[in-house]
Chains A and B, each alone.
Chain A
Amino acid sequence: MLRIPCPWCGLRDESEFRYRGDATSPRPPADAGLDAFNAYVYQRDNLRGWHTEWWLHVAGCRKLLKIVRHTLTHEIRSVEAATAASSTEPVR
């Protein structure tokens, strides 16, 4: 069971959240071409280690969160609002 410290609601169980996948590939501009969109839609780093990802607090504040979590230990290193600009680069 993951316990996610939501910045608005406090420490909550994972069952309140909905996973929304990798948060490190921003949508390319509309004229970026097929390769860029293929990479955006389909290709993932799928890291075995620290992974930056979206979680929606669907049964709580309904905010979209950006979480850095380890995909082997499940340790959570940071939780911030989706709009926070600080860590758009993937953490390795």
Chain B
Amino acid sequence: MKPPPHSRRRAPLTHRVAGGRYSFWRLLREGLRGQRGWSRAWAKASPRPRYRVVIVGGGGHGLSTAFHLAAEHGINDVAVLERGPIGLGNVGRNTTIIRSNYFHPDNIRFYELSLRLWERLERQLNFNAMVSQRGTLNLFHTEAQRDLFTRRANQMRLLGVDARAVDRAEVGRLVPLADLDNGRYPVLGGFLQPRGGTVRHDAVAWGYARAASAAGVDIVEHCEVEGLRIENGRVTGVDTPRGFIAADTVCLAVAGHSSVLAAMAGVKLPIETHVLQAFVSEPVKPLLDVVLTYGAGHFYVSQSDKGGLVFGGAIDGYNTYGQRGALPMVEEVTAAAVTLLPALARLKVLRQWGGVMDMTMDGSPIISKTPIEGLILNGGWCYGGFKAIPAGGLTTAHLIAHGVPHPAAAHLDLGRFASGRTLDERGVGPFPYLH
């Protein structure tokens, strides 16, 4: 694809937001005038017959890609097609954690780019996403695990990312609830990324949708893509119940269902689909002010501003597209929860839900061209999709606009599997159910 035209000078996005800019003064004014001056945050668009770019999937990555295409590359001849309403897919099903505490340098750089974008997201979008950098604390329970975490923290520090070791006494101060001497897996210490934290996930979808819509992107809800048209090895558009929509570039941002969409183009992906469950407890007074990760099982928890403890575990472990979850993982997660934080045994679980995700063969995402000309894939997010939304959108938009990968995401290409450059953070090999 040709580089984008830069002829049109554009006003800063925040001044062109539909329904006006959000501000303290606006809030005060509307408060005094009976809240009658608000309008829809984004336009409900009907699809036009052709676009320069069609993005399949109106989740975090699809909306973020559309926003970055319009904001940074001047491409707003873009449609985002979403099967249901915005915000009901994985962008609204995760545990809202942001962090960049990885080990592989390529992963650290990519997720750190994302974390830096989170830090200025609200100003950029003029939307309160409740970005809260309360710190992410990973606990270790054995000497070997301490060495592993120390190595990981050192790797992060070498790349200029914040991380520090936390001794047992400090874990006790940071998380008074934790049973450090629990009989089974006593806590020896932890490692903290102070800039990690949480973001209100619904607001991320809404904020990106509003900013993209204001920039001229069409957000089309209730428009499921039922087929991809390919001519001479090149994608020409998508078939939907609302007719054929032609496009020069089609971007798949449907993590969880990437294989289903790619199969429409005859492409087989290194992905299996698995369900990951999450839970929220009844709301209680503040009792946990970091994101806490247990090291002897899969359990991570934070407290939402409403007071509920939001927690999750590992994938159920077998291929499924069912957006629910089974009891064995519920048992495993709650067992880990009450081992580490015995007080949780007194809380009721308010809700439990599941989201299906692309688990790749190396546990790392894919932002790549595909064997079909003009078909771009943003998928394979495994557990890490939410925290990667800003960087995923930025780098996917770069790939669409310039036809070459963004330097921060060049390692996430599909070709890495055949050439042996896999990015296996956990070192378990090509077994998606183990990542």
Contacts and interface: CB of A to CB of B under 8 A. Distances in A.
Contacts of A22: 272, 319
Contacts of A72: 320-322
A48 B272 CA distance: 10
Contacts of B295: none
B403 interface: no
Contact of A43 (B257, B268, B327): B268
A2 B319 contact: no
Given A14-B326, A71-B273, A34 B418 contact: yes
A66 interface: no
- The dominant DSSP class at the A interface is mixed
Interface in A1-43: 1-2, 13-15, 19, 21-22, 34-35, 38-39, 41-43
Nearest to A67: B318
Contacts of B317: 19
A74 B274 CA distance: 12
B270 interface: yes
A51 B320 CA distance: 9
B433 A21 contact: yes
A42 B327 contact: no
A84 B217 CA distance: 54
Contacts of B326: 1-2, 14
A68 B120 CA distance: 48
Contacts of B284: none
B430 interface: yes
A92 B276 CA distance: 25
How large, as a class, is the contact surface on chain B?
20 to 34
Given A14-B326, A74-B320, A42 B270 contact: yes
A14 to B, nearest CB: 6
B321 A45 contact: no
Contacts of B270: 42-44
B338 interface: no
Contact of A71 (B322, B430, B432, B433): B322
A55 to B, nearest CB: 8
Contact of B328 (A1, A21, A47, A48): A1
Interface string B240-267: 0000000000000000010110010000
A48 B260 contact: yes
Contacts of A51: 319
B121 interface: no
16 contacts: A1-B327, A1-B328, A2-B318, A2-B326, A14-B318, A34-B418, A35-B418, A38-B417, A42-B270, A42-B361, A42-B418, A43-B270, A46-B319, A48-B259, A53-B319, A71-B319
Closest 7 CB pairs of A and B: A46-B259, A42-B270, A19-B318, A43-B268, A38-B418, A42-B417, A15-B328
Given A21-B433, A48-B260, A73-B322, 7 more contacts: A19-B318, A38-B417, A44-B268, A44-B271, A45-B263, A45-B268, A72-B322
Interface of A: 1-2, 13-15, 19, 21-22, 34-35, 38-39, 41-48, 51, 53, 69, 71-74
